[in-house]
């Protein structure tokens, strides 16, 4: 059984091929991602109209390459299902992937498996082995249930308790900006390029002995960590950075200190909330997913999260290439949810879809 997966919810045009018998350890056969970062950089963020145009240009070559890399034919003879992200995301971007999937499904008479983008991110930790000429990894330690999942991306930040495949209990989410969005906005304030996460992280890494700086010039809040529940809020943190730096002429060292302290504020907040939820629900595993899971400091801290929890849950963090948007995670999510397969007439985009 093979699945061709398509993802175009934001600014990455992606396709992948997955093989496997349902939930029996599906294997990734190919994964292709065409990034549009250079097209959006001059606008300091994703320009939706340009994103959909770029998806339109890239979608066919990206699908062709994913099929070729997997040893599959263009006539989709050996493909059994087509999986596609139907939401949430930018409507003009989603429409390109969904229309491509529906067209292929109609022409080659294949069923479609619609996948929610967050569910896709969750399944980035369920990808087993993969290797091609420029990308190898192996993961034979899949998350056990119940699993506490921290989703941190540009469009969403929240904690989900996963009781089984497809069984999600939302514990909390951001009331305003997502963590990745805060990275992107603070990067703009510091005059750094889009996407802000990797840019801030690179500047923050130039810090030397921050803990030895006696009089820290910058100190930002760790929002909501002492409030009941598991919600997040990052817009106040971004505003705190704005008010702190707006009348100052920052030199290079200032920028490094702001980037470092901001990143620590985000990481500490995410870790504090995750730990509180872990202590309450005592999950068997802890999973980190979403674009911000590419962040080195967050990965380091998340990896240590189980150390002071008495029941020692297993920790799962995707390979960095599978942290940001890709179609491999969509194909794997689909392999675990073959029951969602339907005909192309029943597939619609939903830009505000929830888990
Ligand atoms: O999951 P993703 O690729 O797209 C959405 O579903 O939103 O996440 C993109 C977000 C952006 O906000 C980007 O700045 C952030 O992930 N990001 C990072 C890093 N790499 C990407 N944030 C912090 N550190 C990184 N290394
Ligand atoms: Zn995403």
Q: Report which ligand 1 atom has the smallest distance to the Cα of 156.
A: 7
DSSP string, 184-233: HHHHHHTTPPSSHHHHHHHHHTT---GGG-SS-S-----TTTTSSSS-B-
| Predicted local distance difference test score (pLDDT) of residue 309 | 94
| Predicted local distance difference test score (pLDDT) of residue 216 | 80
| Predicted local distance difference test score (pLDDT) of residue 129 | 81
Ligand 2 centroid–CA 233 distance in Å is: 19
Q: Which helix (H) or strand (E) holds 59?
A: helix 48-69
pLDDT at 217 over 90: no
Ligand 2 centroid–CA 117 distance in Å is: 6
Name residues with Cβ closer than 5 Å to ligand 2, which is an ion.
153, 325
Q: Indicate which residue's Cα is closest to atom 1 of ligand 1.
A: 291
- Better-predicted residue by pLDDT, 99 or 22: 99
Mean pLDDT (the chain) is 95
pLDDT at 265 over 80: yes
| Predicted local distance difference test score (pLDDT) of residue 208 | 87
Instruction: Please state, for a pLDDT cut of 70, what percent of the chain lies above it.
Output: 99
Residue-wise pLDDT tens digits, 180-190: 999 999 999 99
Ligand 2 centroid–CA 10 distance in Å is: 8
Ligand 1 pocket, mutate which of 119, 179, 188, 195 (most atoms under 8 A from CB): 195
Interacting residues of 278 by C-beta distance below 8 A, sequence separation 6+: 148, 286, 305, 309, 313
Ligand 1 pocket list (CB less than 6 A): 10, 153-155, 180-181, 183-184, 195-198, 201, 290-292, 294-295, 324-325
Question: Residues 56, 85, 278, 322: what is their CA dihedral angle, to the nearest 10 degrees?
Answer: -50
Residue-wise pLDDT tens digits, 133-146: 778 888 888 999 99
DSSP state of 4: E
| Predicted local distance difference test score (pLDDT) of residue 103 | 98
Ligand 1 pocket, mutate which of 36, 87, 199, 324 (most atoms under 8 A from CB): 324
Nearest to 40 by CA among 31, 49, 29, 32: 49
| Predicted local distance difference test score (pLDDT) of residue 170 | 98
Residue-wise pLDDT tens digits, 113-172: 999 999 999 999 999 888 877 788 888 889 999 999 999 999 999 999 999 999 999 999
Q: Report which ligand 1 atom has the smallest distance to the Cα of 180.
A: 12
Q: Indicate which residue's Cα is closest to atom 14 of ligand 1.
A: 197
Q: Which residues pair with 24 in a beta bridge?
A: 21
CB 88 within 8 A of CB 81: no
How far is Cα 344 from Cα 84, in angstroms, rounded to an integer? 11
Q: Model pTM? A: 0.96
Ligand 2 centroid–CA 7 distance in Å is: 10
Nearest to 351 by CA among 49, 97, 90: 90
Q: Which residues pair with 168 in a beta bridge?
A: 162
Nearest to 124 by CA among 111, 115, 134, 113: 115
Two structure tokens written together for 156? 């969403």
Ligand 1 centroid–CA 309 distance in Å is: 28
Ligand 1 centroid–CA 86 distance in Å is: 20
Ligand 1 centroid–CA 180 distance in Å is: 5
| Predicted local distance difference test score (pLDDT) of residue 132 | 79
- Better-predicted residue by pLDDT, 218 or 137: 218
Ligand 1 pocket, mutate which of 89, 179, 197, 327 (most atoms under 8 A from CB): 197
User: Tokens 């909330």 map to which residue?
Assistant: 273
Interacting residues of 146 by C-beta distance below 8 A, sequence separation 6+: 161, 162, 163, 281, 283, 284
């Amino acid at each position: 059984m093979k699945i061709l997966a398509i993802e175009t919810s934001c600014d990455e045009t992606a396709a992948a091929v997955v093989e496997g018998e349902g939930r029996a350890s599906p294997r990734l056969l190919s994964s292709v991602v065409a990034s549009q970062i250079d097209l959006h950089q001059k606008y300091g963020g994703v320009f939706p109209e340009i994103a959909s145009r770029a998806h339109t240009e890239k979608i066919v070559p990206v699908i062709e390459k994913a099929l070729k890399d997997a040893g599959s034919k263009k006539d989709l003879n050996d493909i059994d299902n087509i999986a596609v992200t139907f939401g949430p995301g930018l409507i003009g971007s989603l429409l390109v992937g969904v229309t491509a999937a529906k067209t292929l499904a109609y022409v080659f008479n294949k069923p479609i498996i619609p996948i929610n983008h967050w569910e896709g991110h969750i399944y980035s930790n369920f990808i087993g082995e993969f290797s091609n000429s420029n990308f190898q990894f192996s993961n034979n330690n899949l998350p056990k249930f119940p699993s506490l999942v921290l989703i941190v991306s540009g469009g969403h930040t929240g904690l989900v308790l996963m009781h089984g495949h497809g069984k999600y209990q939302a514990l909390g989410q951001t009331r305003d900006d997502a963590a990745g969005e805060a990275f992107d906005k603070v990067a703009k304030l510091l005059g750094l390029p889009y996407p802000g996460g990797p840019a801030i992280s690179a500047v923050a890494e130039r810090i030397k002995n921050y803990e030895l700086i006696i009089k820290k010039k910058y100190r930002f809040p760790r929002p909501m960590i002492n409030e009941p529940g598991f919600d997040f809020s990052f817009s106040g943190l971004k505003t705190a950075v704005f008010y702190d730096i707006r009348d100052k002429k920052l030199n290079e060292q200032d920028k490094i200190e702001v980037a470092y302290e901001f990143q620590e504020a985000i990481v500490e907040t995410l870790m504090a909330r995750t730990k509180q939820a872990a202590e309450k629900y005592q999950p068997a595993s802890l999973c980190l997913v979403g674009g911000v899971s590419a962040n080195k400091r967050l990965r380091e801290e998340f990896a240590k999260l189980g150390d002071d929890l008495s029941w020692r849950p297993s920790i799962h963090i995707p390979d960095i290439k599978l942290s940001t948007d890709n179609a491999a995670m969509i194909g794997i999510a689909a392999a675990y949810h073959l029951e969602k397969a339907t005909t192309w007439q029943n597939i619609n985009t939903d830009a505000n879809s929830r888990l």
